[in-house]
Structure formats: structure tokens, C-alpha cells
Amino acid sequence: MEPLLRVTDLHAFIGESHILQGVSLTVAPRRVTVLLGRNGAGKTTTLRAILGLAPAARGTIVLDGAEITREPTHRIVRRGIGYVPEDRDVFAGLTVAENLRLAQRPGAPRERLAAAYRLFPDLERRANQRAGSLSGGQQQMVAIARALVNENRLLVVDEPSKGLAPVVVQQVTAALAAIKETTTVLLVEQNLAMARALGDDAVIIDDGRTVYAGPMAEVAADEALQQRYLGAGTRVTSDE
């Protein structure tokens, strides 16, 4: 089966810092690929490069057979990529409903919005509440729901459990497990328990390079691999 996403020998800079120094990965259709690594390894920069937010200095990014390496972000997104950033980026002064409507591209089926509310019923109950007044977990739900209101082929999610209480992490994990039944997911996650629960495949980045690509179950079972490349940078439980 051809991968939905293929990244080959990706290099990227932030300022003069050479952050990505040869990242390669594939994301198979209808699977969850988890991107792992210590803090600062280059995981978020990899996601941003895929989305055109951190320009690739070298390498190729191919989505469903079409190269998107140097396309602008708005064209990449229109090809069917939904993005849930690490800092959530909700519009605090807008209501939940307004956040979701603003995220919908022209022509998006109404059913997508209904499906997002079914996945997060608490958001439907709070549809008229300003997003800035929501808890961190509820704001994370808004961020994920915004990526679901369009017919995306790939969902890119950065650190969905960061800063959330364990009970909220369980809710977000359950939601992503439901999403993966129909949508391909590329997930950055430091919470190894969440990564184990959701991941089919794993890619480990260390110092801006890919050092492992294989089954998530293999990473979960190999404590030496975890200690060598993840160590203290990977949370077994959430921060709170």
C-alpha cells in the first residue's frame, strides 16, 4: 500500500539553527503514526515543515503522490490536511460555534460540524460560550474539532495531552481513537501511555534525524530503545 504521506531527507532551519538534519518518515493510510523524541529533537519542526510553516531547505514531502515540498501553507491545507497545533490557538474572544464555523472551508458538508459535536458533546452544550473561558481540556477539544469540520485526509496533531489532567487525557485519547477509524493521523505525543494506546506505527527523531521507524508495539516493548532515545523527555503520565 502506498503511503499517504512520504517525507524524505528533510532539512529545515530556524534562524541559523539547523533543526532538521535528515528526517524521513512515511504515514500509511488509515493508521496512526506517532512521532517520538526528546524535547528539542525536531518533532514540531517536522510537522511545521510538512505544513509549509517552516520552509524545507532540502528534501521532499509527498502527499498522496503529489509533491508539496514548497507549496504555500494554504494550498497544502486545501489538499486535505487538518492541523491541531501544540498551543491550540483558539480564538479566545469568539464562541465555540464561531471558532468551528471560521475553520470550515467553503463547501464543507454540514455533517462534518455535526460529527465534531457528536465526538465532543460538551462543546455542543457550550456552543455559545467564548472559547477563552473554557478549560484547557475544552480548548483542546475545540482545536481538534476545528480540524474535523472539513473533509481532511490527514490529521496532524501536536502534543494533544500537554498540560492536561489525566481524566481529560483519557477523553482526548478516546476521541482520537474514534477519529482514527476513518482518518489518517500523524501524532506528536510525549505521553507514552497515550502513544501506546493510539499508535500503529512509530518514528523516533533524535537531534533532527530519524533513528527509528517501525511498529509502535515494538517501541512500547523495548525499554532500552525508550531509554536511549526518549528517556526523561517522554511522559508516562500527563503533566498535571
Give the pLDDT of the chain (240 residues) as one tens digit per residue.
799 999 999 999 999 999 999 999 999 999 999 999 999 999 999 999 999 999 999 999 999 999 999 999 999 999 999 999 999 999 999 999 999 999 999 888 889 999 999 999 999 999 999 999 999 999 999 999 999 999 999 999 999 999 999 999 999 999 999 999 899 999 999 999 999 999 999 999 999 999 999 999 999 999 999 999 998 445 543 333
Q: Rounded CA gap, 186 and 70, in Å?
A: 20
0.75 surpassed by pTM? yes
Under a CB-based contact definition with an 8 Å cutoff, are residues 133 and 139 in contact?
no
Residue 48 three-state SS: helix
In this prediction, residue 231 carries a pLDDT of 81
At position 121, the amino acid (one-letter code) is P
Under a CB-based contact definition with an 8 Å cutoff, are residues 205 and 37 in contact?
yes
Under a CB-based contact definition with an 8 Å cutoff, are residues 112 and 151 in contact?
yes
Residues found in the chain: 240
Phi, psi at 137, each rounded to 5°? -65, -40
Q: Rounded CA gap, 67 and 220, in Å?
A: 32
At position 114, the amino acid (one-letter code) is A
Q: In the beta sheet, which residues pair with residue 82?
A: 155
C-alpha radius of gyration, the chain, whole number: 17
